[in-house]
Amino acid sequence: MRPYAARLAWLLLLTLSLCSYALHSRLHGPLLALCALLLTLGKGQLIVDDFMGLRHVRGPWRLLLSSYLGLLTLTLIFISTYGDLA
């Protein structure tokens, strides 16, 4: 990873974290949870691609970690939406 790319990724992570904080004061309930989870998914994918160096990797590693992030996000959305059915 080039130094400027690492700085750019770091700044993007910082910006997404600040967006999460700003949303906390403006949104409430399920919409806040959905936005926070989607921002977390984006941050996780950024970490997988840039900091773990899997952006240009072919094969199962990038697919495995990206699928894990997506499945985890969908599971948490499902639990937050339908978790109180019992």
Among 34, 8, 9, 10, CA closest to 20: 34
Residue 70 pLDDT class (50, 70, 90 cuts): very high
Residue 1 pLDDT class (50, 70, 90 cuts): low
Domain that holds residue 73: 3-82
pLDDT at residue 62 tops 80: yes
Give the model's pLDDT for residue 85. Answer: 62
Among 51, 2, 71, 28, CA closest to 36: 28
Q: How many structural domains compose the chain?
A: 1
Give the model's pLDDT for residue 44. Answer: 92
Instruction: Tell if the pTM clears 0.85, that is, is over it.
Output: no
Summarize pLDDT for 37-58 with one digit per residue, the tens. Answer: 899 999 999 999 888 888 888 8
Place of tokens 């240009």: 56
